[in-house]
């Protein structure tokens, strides 16, 4: 994303009337430190580390967060 990073996109979503209440998940290689802390402070629902998250875990988490239809 040349102009915005993932956290900036998340913050823009939180400002939108239609998108402010959606669950959000960040999947990244950045495990510790400032990015993780900033994401948690901003209200990210899930902050997942790629190397620590299996495809099955990711799929299960997405299914848990999707609204029932």
Per-residue pLDDT, 28? 85
Note the pLDDT tens digit of each residue in 25-50.
888 887 767 888 888 888 888 888 89
pLDDT band at residue 69 using 50, 70 and 90 as cut-offs: low
Per-residue pLDDT, 40? 85
Can you give the residue ranges of every domain in the chain?
A: 6-65
Q: Read off the pLDDT of each residue in 48-67 and give the average, rounded to a whole number.
A: 89
**3-state SS string for the chain:** CCCCCHHHHHHHHHHCCCCCCCCCEEEECCCCCHHHHHHHHHCCCEEEEHHHCCHHHHHHHHHHHCCCC
Its pTM stands at 0.68
Per-residue pLDDT, 59? 93
């Amino acid at each position: 994303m040349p102009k915005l990073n993932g956290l900036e996109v998340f913050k823009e979503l939180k400002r939108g009337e239609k998108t402010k209440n959606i669950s959000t998940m960040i999947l990244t290689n950045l495990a510790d430190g400032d990015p993780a802390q900033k994401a948690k402070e901003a209200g990210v629902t899930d902050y997942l580390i790629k190397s620590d998250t299996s495809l099955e875990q990711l799929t299960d988490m997405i299914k848990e967060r999707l609204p029932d239809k």
